[in-house]
Amino acid sequence: MQKKIIKCLFIGTFILNLTACASHHVQIPQTPVEPQLDNSKDIFVDPSIAHFMGNTDHSKLKNLVATAQPTQFISWTSDTTGARFVFTSKEIFVNPEGQGCRDYEIKLIRGFFDPPSFNYIACRNSQGVWQVISH
């Protein structure tokens, strides 16, 4: 008799816990998402890479094009997308038009696949704005 009472109490407690769990609303914490600007016309990077970049990544790349030293190698992981980028400044030179130019490469690393790399030459125009002249 005592075992039967214990068994009924155990089953009753179990059912009570199940109904309590079923009625409890679980709230999943939301990770803040960086608002995305329209970077589809970003001149510093190929569109196939651009959609893996957040606004912070685009700003970082533009800054690297303007300030990186020759042969400088920089890598970072996007806080927005989790993708890893590798920027390599190859050469800084003055073109025949007298503009300061930079030859650089950008790679997107995702998983274990051979990453695509894209080579660019960007030059400063007369207003001091960087423009890609070769891709």
Q: Is residue 75 part of a domain?
A: yes
pLDDT tens digit string along 18-32? 555 455 454 444 444
Q: Distance (Å, rounded) from C-alpha 126 to C-alpha 119? A: 23
Q: Is residue 23 part of a domain?
A: no
Q: Is residue 93 part of a domain?
A: yes
pLDDT tens digit string along 85-100? 999 999 999 999 999 9
Give me the domain span that covers residue 79: 47-134
Reported confidence tier of residue 11, pLDDT bands at 50, 70, 90:
confident
Q: Is residue 17 part of a domain?
A: no
Neighbour tally for 90: CB within 10 Å: 16
Structural domain count of the chain: 1
Report whether 80 contacts 57 (CB < 8 A): yes
pLDDT tens digit string along 45-76? 777 788 888 899 989 998 999 999 999 999 99
Q: Is residue 24 part of a domain?
A: no
